[in-house]
Amino acid sequence: MANLTTVAAIQCSYSKDMQANIDKTIHYVEQAAKQGGQVILAPELFQNLYFCTHQREEWFAQAFPVAEHPCVTQLQSVAKKLKVALPVSIFERDGPNTFNSLAMVDDNGEIMGVYRKSHIPDGPGYQEKYYFRPGDTGFKVWKTRFGTMGVGICWDQWFPECARSMALQGADILFYPTAIGSEPYDDGLDTSKIWQRAMQGHAVSNAMPVVAANRIGMENANGEEQYFYGHSFIADQSGEIVQELVKDQEGVILQSFDFEALKTYRSVWGFFRDRRPDLYQL
């Protein structure tokens, strides 16, 4: 009998109340766990509104060390209680430095490690370089009881090098917590489809599933509205979207995969056999 792993993505709106956001995330983690979810992904920086739309010094007060971060400490107990693994996206403080980070919490409630976002955007509506240093951890994967999990953060999802690096480290599946929506410089631009296609490409070229969790709704963190378009999804190893939430829908999506069978699938396709790293120096 196949040994299946069930993964899940959460999609919902958030507010300026950190505790309310944590409680809401816990609610959906519990809902996903009840449906069989074992590795459950919440959106990027769910602790607050997406505050990086403008440069405001007051938001630095929302950064905490990993082991003291309210999102981490509260979800650790949830993970232990429900026996699920949780990639937890946070605003991290480490001494004088701040990062857009992710703490990987295992099903015993332990922090397995931290990944710091490697690619930091800097443009209208997404002024993250003001808040976050470029990550210094390198790309990471974690061997959980449910399989080996690779996790990038939002802007990382546009870079094939990030996905391939995690695949080369033995990832069984790729997760991307996300906060993406309208582009202030072009109100008519909807990037949701190309956003999905970029990650579907990672699924195809690495022959492994991809999970993306985005927030939804109109937010106003700094005096200007920004809309987040959702479209969270799970794609299988062929890039086919097998589960998806629409733009204004709160909830969870789940999908089961046989990671052992997918190892054979990757070998059959030969993408890793036929790589030519000797030609990739540029």
Q: Which residues are catalytic?
A: 44, 117, 154
CA pseudo-torsion sign 180, 183, 188, 191: negative
83-119: burial string, b at 16+ Cβ within 10 Å, e else: ebbbbbbbbbbeeeebbbbbbbbbbebebbebbbbbb
Find tokens 């739309």 and name the residue.
Answer: 53
State the first-to-last Cα distance of the chain, in angstroms, to the nearest integer. 45
Strand ranges for the chain from DSSP E: 5-11, 39-41, 86-94, 97-105, 111-116, 122-123, 126-127, 141-144, 147-151, 173-177, 210-213, 216-219, 226-229, 233-235, 241-244, 251-257
Q: Which amino acid is at 135?
A: G
Cα separation of 171 and 262, whole Å?
11
- CA dihedral in degrees (18, 19, 21, 22; nearest 10)? 120
